[in-house]
């Protein structure tokens, strides 16, 4: 069973959404109408989805949404009332995972939750891939600096310096990155 937190102002909206979520095998952990409390509850319960309205007390919905998206905590579904349709562009610019309009049908809510989860998953995968690529770039820079240091100190060409670095890393059973750091720090130099 998946878990949800509702941060909505109107209690009738909370009750309707709670009922629909129950039909979709979601457990509503807590409901609140305060943005600051919603953020605290989010960190405490780590739900599978957060459903928020736009006019919360305490921390504004915009600030809550920015925090949720910046920290990649969970998928976020913003529910706007029909009379709040003018806010749609603001919510879209805030980059919510999904937006739905109240009154909702259970099928619409299910589709909105599914799309929010899919978008959140793609964002998480992209973030992980960016992190891996950044680490790979750092490693390549370290290796390049170590090769340059060997070229400066020994007068070797680039191929010889890299081959020596790679051979020594295998002999010491170290990663190429770790040995490159040792070369840069002057802890290891070939004889």
pLDDT the model gives residue 119:
96
Measured between alpha carbons, how far is residue 66 from residues 2, 69, 94, 163, 178 in Å?
23, 5, 7, 48, 38
6 and 87 inside one domain: yes
152 and 77 inside one domain: no
Give yes or no for a contact between 7 and 38, defined as CB atoms under 8 angstroms apart.
Answer: yes
Q: Which domain holds residue 58?
A: 2-104
pLDDT the model gives residue 93:
87
88 and 21 inside one domain: yes
- Tell me which of 89, 104, 119 is where a domain ends: 104
CATH of the domain at 7: 3.40.50.2300
Give yes or no for a contact between 54 and 80, defined as CB atoms under 8 angstroms apart.
Answer: yes
Could you give the CA distance from residue 6 to residue 23 in angstroms, rounded to a whole number?
A: 16
Whether 110 is covered by a domain: the verdict is: no
Could you give the CA distance from residue 179 to residue 182 in angstroms, rounded to a whole number?
A: 5
For the chain, list residues with pLDDT below 70: none
pLDDT the model gives residue 69:
87
- Write the pLDDT tens digit of every residue in 16-26: 999 999 999 99
- Tokens 């009922």 identify what position? 19
Whether 114 is covered by a domain: the verdict is: no
Could you give the CA distance from residue 23 to residue 34 in angstroms, rounded to a whole number?
A: 26
77 and 14 inside one domain: yes
Could you give the CA distance from residue 76 to residue 112 in angstroms, rounded to a whole number?
A: 10
- Write the pLDDT tens digit of every residue in 36-67: 999 999 999 999 999 999 888 888 888 888 88
Q: How many domains does the chain have?
A: 2
pLDDT the model gives residue 136:
97
- Tell me which of 104, 119, 151 is where a domain ends: 104
pLDDT the model gives residue 9:
79
pLDDT the model gives residue 10:
83
Could you give the CA distance from residue 90 to residue 85 in angstroms, rounded to a whole number?
A: 10
How many other CB atoms are found less than 10 A from the CB of residue 34?
A: 16
């Amino acid at each position: 069973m998946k878990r949800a937190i509702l941060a909505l102002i109107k209690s009738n909206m909370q009750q309707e959404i709670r009922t629909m979520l129950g039909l979709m095998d979601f457990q509503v952990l807590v409901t609140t109408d305060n943005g600051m409390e919603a953020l605290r509850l989010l960190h405490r319960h780590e739900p599978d989805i957060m459903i928020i309205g736009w006019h919360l007390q305490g921390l504004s919905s915009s600030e809550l949404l920015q925090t949720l998206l910046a920290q990649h905590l969970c998928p976020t579904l913003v529910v706007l009332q029909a009379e709040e349709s003018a806010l749609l562009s603001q919510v879209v610019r805030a980059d919510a995972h999904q937006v739905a309009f109240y009154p909702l049908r259970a099928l619409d809510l299910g589709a909105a939750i599914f799309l929010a989860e899919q978008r959140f998953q793609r964002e998480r995968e992209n973030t992980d891939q960016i992190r891996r690529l950044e680490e790979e770039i750092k490693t390549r820079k370290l290796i390049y600096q170590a090769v340059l240091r060997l070229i400066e100190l020994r007068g070797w060409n680039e191929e010889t310096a890299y081959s020596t670095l790679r051979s020594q890393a295998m002999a010491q059973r170290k990663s190429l990155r770790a040995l490159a750091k040792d070369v840069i720090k002057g802890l290891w130099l070939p004889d």
